Amino acid sequence: MVAPIAIFAFNRPNLLRRTLMALARNPLASASPLTIFCDGPRNEQDEPSTQAVRELARTAEGFLSVDVVERPTNMGCASSVIDGLTQMFSLHERLIVIEDDILTSPHTLRFLNDGLVRYAESENIFNISAWSPPHVARAVPAGYPYDVYAIPRFNCWGWASWRDRFIGIDWSVGDYGTFKRSPYLRMLFNAGGEDLSAMLDAQMQGKINSWAIRADYARFKKHMLGINPLHSYTLNIGMGSGTHTTTKTAYWDSDISLALEVASFPKVIGVDEAIRKVYHDSYYGEKRSLPQRIFHRLSHLLRQCTLLA
């Protein structure tokens, strides 16, 4: 069965148009029911662009069906997504999620649907991501036999998951106090990038308003992994204009023309430590200071000691 798709949009009609056009080029689009959640304007200045988004959503074509949910007021990115996910997972066992600035390969829906089928019964898999840092594919160990890899991180630039992974998430992060005081838990959470604990801190301090870091924390608590492709099926075209992607950069850009029509998914998959290290380090880029490099190395050694204990 082809999974339904949810798109979350706000005030960027030009990006949403490109997102819808690319998604409709997927052969499975015509078999996929689509729901577009349109957030309301924050102020009078937002009204023309949010209205343009709604009009565009109503005219979306190429899908099995199109349902448009128009928010009467501005919920904000995080609340809109959390509410939409709750609604969709209450109706569907599995779901594909695309935000309004995600350009997809023609093979994206095939990849995500195949992943949903392959790992539906895998108790250690939290989600299937259509995006991967471009730096990973360039450093895959020789002889790596698959087209995907597992990583302790949730990527939200085009993804899919199942109801039982998302229903019951504590979006308030009620145990944050315990986590905040535990260097050990923070180290474990940071296995997918040293930025993870810092982002959760920023969320809980009210400095950002992200649903994704809270979903990633839920993944961490469930002791689950995310599945990523070696070659990305999506490209974020909204860098510099989004709620949390406010800096324009090409650092994360992937060549989605390299995405495979049919990917090889192993039935059982664990974390390849060489890939995890490249992945982890990609979130620093060229910005890591000497103290950070020392801390990273000590954390890595401690993690290895923990795994061997």
The domain locations on the chain are: 5-308
Task: Write down the pTM of the prediction.
Answer: 0.89
* 143 dihedral zone (left: phi>0; alpha: psi -120 to 50; beta): left
- Is the pLDDT at 105 greater than 90? The verdict is yes
- Is the pLDDT at 294 greater than 50? The verdict is no
| CB 289, CB 177: distance < 8 Å | no
- Sign, CA dihedral 17-247-99-53, equals negative
> CA nearest 29: which of 96, 117, 122, 125?
96
State residue 249's pLDDT score. Answer: 61
Distance between alpha carbon 140 and the CA centroid of its chain, in Å?
Answer: 21
- Is the pLDDT at 26 greater than 80? The verdict is yes
d(CA 300, CA 145): 25
State residue 289's pLDDT score. Answer: 44
State residue 38's pLDDT score. Answer: 98
| CB 11, CB 49: distance < 8 Å | yes
d(CA 241, CA 139): 30
Band of residue 293 on the pLDDT scale cut at 50, 70, 90: very low
What DSSP string describes 130-195? Answer: S---HHHHTTPPTT---SEEEESS---SSEEEEHHHHTT--TT-TTHHHHHT-HHHHHHHGGG-TH
Write the pLDDT tens digit of every residue in 174-190.
999 999 999 999 999 99
CA angle 106, 70, 238 (to 5 degrees): 45
| CB 112, CB 160: distance < 8 Å | yes
State residue 273's pLDDT score. Answer: 93
> CA nearest 276: which of 189, 190, 151, 185?
151
Contacts of 136 (CB under 8 A, 6+ apart): 149, 228, 230, 275, 278, 279, 282
- Is the pLDDT at 301 greater than 50? The verdict is no
CA angle 197, 198, 202 (to 5 degrees): 115
* Both tokens assigned to 185: 């838990």
- Is the pLDDT at 3 greater than 90? The verdict is yes
Q: Which fold has domain 5-308?
A: Spore Coat Polysaccharide Biosynthesis Protein SpsA; Chain A (3.90.550)
Write the pLDDT tens digit of every residue in 204-262.
999 999 999 999 999 999 999 999 999 999 999 987 544 444 455 677 788 999 999 99
**Average pLDDT, whole number, for the chain?**
89
Lowest mean pLDDT among 135-144, 220-229, 238-247, 293-302: 293-302
Write the pLDDT tens digit of every residue in 71-89.
999 999 999 999 999 999 9
> CA nearest 104: which of 232, 13, 277, 200?
232
* Both tokens assigned to 267: 């039935």
Residue scoring higher pLDDT (302 or 4): 4
d(CA 81, CA 85): 6
